[in-house]
Amino acid sequence: MGSDAIEKHLVVKLLATCLVGGVVVGVSLFGLYSGGLLPPQNVFSQGIWKRRRKKPIRVYMDGCFDMMHYGHCNALRQARALGDQLVVGVVSDAEIIANKGPPVTPLKERLIMVNAVKWVDEVITDAPYAITEEFMKKLFDEYKIDYIIHGDDPCILPDGTDAYALAKKAGRYKQIKRTEGVSSTDIVGRMLLCVRERSVSDSHNHSSLQRQFSHGHSQKLEDGGSASGTRISHFLPTSRRIVQFSNMKGPGPDAHIVYIDGAFDLFHAGHVEILRLARGLGDFLLVGIHTDQTVSATRGLHRPIMNLHERSLSVLACRYVDEVIIGAPWEVSKDMITTFNISLVVHGTIAENNDFQKEKCNPYDVPISMGIFKILESPLDITTTTIIRRIVSNHEAYQKRNEKKGESEKRYYADKTYVSGD
């Protein structure tokens, strides 16, 4: 059947289903078409067919995505909403060092994190820190980018110029709203504060920094160190944000549901890779996020670095995750397995607490007794402690970076105005 015949056949089907004016109207219109009074191009070039064939809008957003958190993910979600396809540029290690200081996570891990965000369609590795004229032309010509996206916070280069000036001049720039209460600078500050607090030790009566994080208190160091001015967990969780991050669908009636739990603090590439493996074992991945109190009890008074709602959003943004339990119990009970229709409970070989099998109260006793527990070989040897150690081992460089960034953060919050959207 030729293209003209196919188009005629589709028009017949379309008009035959129209009930306005009855069958007579449908037949009459078909008579106009077959008689040549209604050319095919008038139907298709200006109607539904054209809209269906419309070129997708491709948007571009770049970033370092160092210590990737829910704020990064929310920026990518907003960027994706401005187009049909989101292309993300990940800045190289060398560019970050030249413009900001040493990254906490190397490029390989940052690429794993960005590729795992469910709103990302394509990734460009080794993107430049600044949008040069040459790179912008490459984006427009080679990657077919329609708009370049960035948050409402300024991105200033070392020479004092705007990193997105060329995109704005070209009229191909769109702005999104920055996510309140979090940045990589904040998170590094929290870890540096933890290091200082450990050295001060018992003078605070074993008070948990987690409690300070959760309630938005920031303790300034006497010597004006890196924690000074750090915004500690000013995140205000809303039901709308959780809905925005949610997949909005449950498992099918016969779905094989896999369950994995943990703190998922400082959500990192090791977490992503074990979640990827877990999702591959079933049709639906349910992730339990332990409470702040549970994490403090099992991992120390200075944990978690990120509070429960922050950790939940980071996990929800991962493309391998279907649903989370916000504040999951430490022990996986028979009632919980029945309630969520869990088919398999899994745990990675690399974890902060891997002595659970030696404990009197093994949290996985029930799934083990039911024969539905499985240990997964973790692809990456990375834990939250790994990330913290990176900060500690190079704390002077990160302290300087934070002090420098802290000034621009203060200016941003001092001059901040309301931005609609998000």
Angstrom distance (rounded) from CA 82 to CA 170: 18
Which tokens belong to 89? 């540029």
The single residue listed with the structure tokens 């948990």 is: 208
Token readout for 295 is: 């994490």
For residues 169 and 39, give the distance between their C-alpha atoms in angstroms, rounded to a whole number. Answer: 43
Give the separation between CA 306 and CA 312, rounded to whole angstroms.
10
**CA nearest 280: which of 242, 224, 320, 233?**
320
Of 372, 328, 198, 346, nearest in space to 278 by CA: 346
Tell me which DSSP letter residue 327 carries.
E
Taking CA atoms, 393 is separated from 90, 192, 247, 380, in Å, by 25, 11, 38, 20
pLDDT at residue number 130: 87
**How is domain 241-382 classified at the CATH fold level?**
Rossmann fold (3.40.50)
Q: Would you state the CATH architecture of domain 58-176?
A: 3-Layer(aba) Sandwich (3.40)
Two domains, one topology: 58-176 and 241-382: yes
Residue 232 and residue 182 in contact, taking contact as beta carbons nearer than 8 Å: no
Nearest alpha carbon to residue 187 among 361, 390, 421, 413: 390
Angstrom distance (rounded) from CA 256 to CA 282:
5
d(CA 257, CA 341) in angstroms, rounded, equals 7
The rounded distance, in Å, linking the Cα atoms of 33 and 24 is: 14
The pair of three-digit structure tokens given for residue 377, joined into one six-digit string: 């070989």
Residue 376 three-state SS: strand
* Structure token digits, residue 67: 């210590």
Domain ranges of the chain: 3-52, 58-176, 184-235+385-415, 241-382
How much is the CA Rg of the chain, to the nearest whole Å? 26
170: left (phi over 0), alpha (psi -120 to 50) or beta: alpha
What is the C-alpha to C-alpha distance for residues 14 and 204, in angstroms, rounded to an integer?
Answer: 75
pLDDT at position 2: 54
DSSP-assigned beta bridge partners for residue 374: 346
Longest dimension (CA), the chain: 93
Question: CA–CA separation, 79 vs 114, rounded Å?
Answer: 14
Q: Where are the beta strands (DSSP E) in 98-248?
A: 122-127, 147-151, 173-176
**pTM for the complete prediction?**
0.77
Sheet containing 323-328: give its strands across.
323-328, 284-290, 257-262, 342-348, 373-376
Residues 6+ apart with CB under 8 A from 89: 60, 61, 62, 63, 123, 124, 127, 128
Q: What is the pLDDT along the chain (422 residues), one digit of tens a residue?
A: 555 554 545 444 544 444 444 333 333 433 434 444 444 445 444 455 444 558 999 999 999 999 899 999 999 999 999 999 999 999 999 999 988 888 999 999 999 999 999 999 999 998 998 889 999 999 999 999 999 999 887 777 777 788 899 999 999 999 998 887 677 777 887 877 766 555 444 344 434 444 443 344 434 333 333 333 333 456 677 899 999 999 999 999 999 999 999 999 999 999 999 999 999 999 999 999 999 999 999 888 888 999 999 999 999 999 999 999 999 999 999 999 999 999 999 999 998 877 776 667 899 999 999 999 999 999 999 999 999 888 888 776 666 665 665 565 566 556 666 666 67
Taking a C-beta distance cutoff of 8 angstroms, is the pair 123, 116 a contact? no
